[in-house]
């Protein structure tokens, strides 16, 4: 049994989602060729703390930084570093907060300057697949309906879904039940009920779906070195629709990232 959140809990999750959304916006302003991923992490860390929150990833199961900073073939869980972003790279910031005892968690893959056409398509399709997943997250549907919506869309473009990682419920813990795979069968899996708060987060490879874990035990890479994109939002399951708690509005409002 997965207990839906009360409206009071949802309000606290919404506050977290807002901080994460604004932080992604601040990071986005600074994404450009020549910046290090460590510098982007610092911007996020400062923004989160300025809002009175804590970067929940720092120390989570031993993770060493405030955000996950994943470049190009890194799917998720990259460490911020002195790597200097170059024109044509893609950079994923995955950001989590802990505020008033609840969690926020969202991610965005930014193009660094101009990227090649296939990479641009990967970003477009991955982000669109997230919204397909969100559209399927309605009360009475099942978790498999979300995964099916993401997978069928992504695969129609020849991209592939990473299966080793998935979305999740969120609350006082960053990762709660149910798991939300980005593949699945319609009508299968746990039933979604009104008030459940979940993070949907397609992780999509330009090439094959295979991945491997780096020697540091964290960074997940594509097996074929193809680029991978990752977009994540937090939503509340409602009757007939899902309510977005986090948003990419702060990233996209100035038109720097259009896709």
Cα-Cα end-to-end distance for the chain: 39
**Phi/psi of residue 85, each to 5°?**
-65, 140
Q: How many residues bind Mg ion (CB under 5 A)?
A: 5
114-133 residues near Mg ion, rule: CB under 5 A? none
- Nearest-angstrom CA–CA distance, 11 and 40: 28
If binding is defined by CB under 5 A, does position 166 make contact with Mg ion?
A: no
Least distance between Mg ion and beta carbon 234 (Å):
8
H or E, element range at 169: strand 167-169
Least distance between Mg ion and beta carbon 199 (Å):
4
Tokens 């699945």 label which residue? 184
If binding is defined by CB under 5 A, does position 107 make contact with Mg ion?
A: yes
Structure tokens at 108: 């965005």
- Closer residue to Mg ion, CB minimum distance, 88 or 175: 175
- Closer residue to Mg ion, CB minimum distance, 43 or 199: 199
Please identify, among the stretches 37-45, 107-115, 158-166, 209-217, the one whose residues bind Mg ion according to the rule CB under 5 A: 107-115
- Nearest-angstrom CA–CA distance, 81 and 84: 8
For the chain, the C-alpha Rg in angstroms (whole number) is: 17
What is the pattern of x (binds Mg ion, CB under 5 A) and - over residues 192-231? -------x--------------------------------
H or E, element range at 20: helix 7-30
If binding is defined by CB under 5 A, does position 105 make contact with Mg ion?
A: yes
Q: Which of 94, 145, 166, 176 binds Mg ion (CB under 5 A)?
A: 94
The residues that touch Mg ion, with contacts defined as CB under 5 A, are 94, 105, 107, 199, 232
């Amino acid at each position: 049994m997965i207990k839906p959140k009360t409206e009071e809990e949802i309000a606290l999750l919404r506050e977290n989602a807002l901080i994460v959304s604004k932080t992604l916006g601040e990071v986005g302003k600074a994404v450009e060729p020549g910046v290090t991923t460590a510098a982007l992490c610092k911007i996020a860390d400062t923004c989160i703390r300025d809002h009175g929150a804590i970067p929940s990833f720092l120390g989570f199961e031993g993770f060493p930084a405030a955000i996950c900073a994943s470049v190009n073939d890194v799917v998720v869980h990259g460490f911020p570093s002195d790597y200097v972003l170059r024109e044509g790279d893609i950079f994923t910031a995955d950001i989590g907060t802990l505020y008033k005892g609840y969690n926020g968690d969202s991610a965005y893959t930014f193009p660094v300057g101009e990227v090649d056409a296939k990479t641009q398509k990967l970003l477009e399709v991955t982000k669109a697949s997230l919204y397909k997943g969100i559209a399927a997250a309605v009360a009475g549907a099942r978790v498999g309906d979300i995964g099916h919506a993401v997978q069928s869309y992504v695969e129609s473009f020849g991209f592939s879904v990473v299966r080793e990682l998935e979305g999740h419920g969120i609350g006082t813990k960053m990762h709660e039940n149910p798991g939300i795979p980005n593949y699945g069968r319609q009508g299968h899996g746990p039933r979604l009920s009104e008030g459940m708060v979940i993070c949907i987060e397609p992780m999509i490879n330009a090439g094959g779906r295979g991945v491997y874990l780096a020697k540091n035990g964290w960074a997940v890479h594509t097996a074929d070195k193809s680029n991978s994109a990752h977009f994540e939002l937090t939503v509340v399951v409602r009757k007939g629709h899902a309510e977005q708690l986090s948003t990419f509005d702060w990233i996209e409002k100035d038109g720097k990232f259009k896709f």
